[in-house]
Amino acid sequence: GDSVTQMEGPVTLSEEAFLTINCTYTATGYPSLFWYVQYPGEGLQLLLKATKADDKGSNKGFEATYRKETTSFHLEKGSVQVSDSAVYFCAGWSSTLGRLYFGRGTQLTVWP
Amino acid sequence: DVKVTQSSRYLVKRTGEKVFLECVQDMDHENMFWYRQDPGLGLRLIYFSYDVKMKEKGDIPEGYSVSREKKERFSLILESASTNQTSMYLCASSLQSGPYEQYFGPGTRLTVT
């Protein structure tokens, strides 16, 4: 079935470090892909999305490129801040099931 | 701004009690969802609804039921709470069916003792 696999955490970085969180998908066809972020004590919120191959989603300095050759949608940020500390979820849309499917989440902690 | 509210942030119930978790959205969204979030397991879909009085099972519906009598309100019911239902419960809504953004509430942390 459709699924996403994202790197396990926790990820701990110093402020201004480069961030990559890996996400790969398994699906029939080419699903829309998403990154959601959950800040402490809050629900999830959409960070960025891409709807087709080679699309790049971007928001708040984060980027992810939809690569069908490697079935990947890795999240990157060039210089993380303490305020980026959160749990990040990769997700895909299943047209077969008619709903989103989520990865297990990656906890990011950024130290000053 | 879309707002999804959940009736409680924290809830403590006893084993065997009937538990109601309420969710309300204020943006006339068609679709509503209930997820359960556990460490290491991510989000798992319990039930969702694409219309009033309509419901679909998600990945882990056992031990839960739902009710959607009005478009803006989606309730999750634990008929007889058990300790393995201790978890964070997240409600979400989206405008319509398809790869659209889901808007999440802040969650209810339920503890069953």
How is B23-52 classified by DSSP, letter by letter? EEESS--SEEEEEEEETTTEEEEEEEESST
Cα end-to-end span (Å), chain B: 37
Helix (H) or strand (E) holding B66: strand B64-70
Instruction: Report yes or no: A77 at the B interface, CB cutoff 8 Å.
Output: no
Proportion of chain B in helix, strand, coil states, percent, rounded to 5? 5, 55, 45
Inter-chain CB proximity A102 and B40 less than 8 Å = no
Question: Could you report the per-residue pLDDT of A47-86, keeping only the tens digit for each?
Answer: 999 999 999 999 999 999 999 999 999 999 999 999 999 9
pLDDT confidence tier of residue A108, bands split at 50, 70 and 90? very high
Output the six-digit token pair for A50.
Answer: 């891409």
| Cα–Cα distance for residue pair B61/B45, rounded to 1 Å | 8
**pLDDT tens digits in sequence order for chain B, 113 residues long:** 669 999 999 999 999 999 999 999 999 999 999 999 998 898 999 999 999 989 999 999 999 999 999 999 999 999 999 999 999 999 999 998 888 899 999 999 999 99
Inter-chain CB proximity B107 and A43 less than 8 Å = yes
Instruction: Report yes or no: A57 at the B interface, CB cutoff 8 Å.
Output: no
When CB atoms are compared, the residue of B41, B98, B105 closest to A104 is B41
Which residues make beta-bridge pairs with A64? A57, A75
| Cα–Cα distance for residue pair B98/A98, rounded to 1 Å | 7
Quick one: pLDDT at residue B2?
Answer: 67
pLDDT confidence tier of residue A2, bands split at 50, 70 and 90? confident
Phi, psi dihedrals of residue B83, rounded to the nearest 5°: -60, -30
> Residues A24-34: what's their mean pLDDT?
91
Q: Which residues does chain A have within 8 Å of residue B41's beta carbon, measured at their own beta carbons?
A: 104
Instruction: Indicate the SS3 state at residue A61.
Output: coil
Instruction: Report yes or no: A100 at the B interface, CB cutoff 8 Å.
Output: yes
Quick one: pLDDT at residue B67?
Answer: 96
B87-94 and A106-111: which strand pairing? unpaired
Inter-chain CB proximity A105 and B42 less than 8 Å = yes
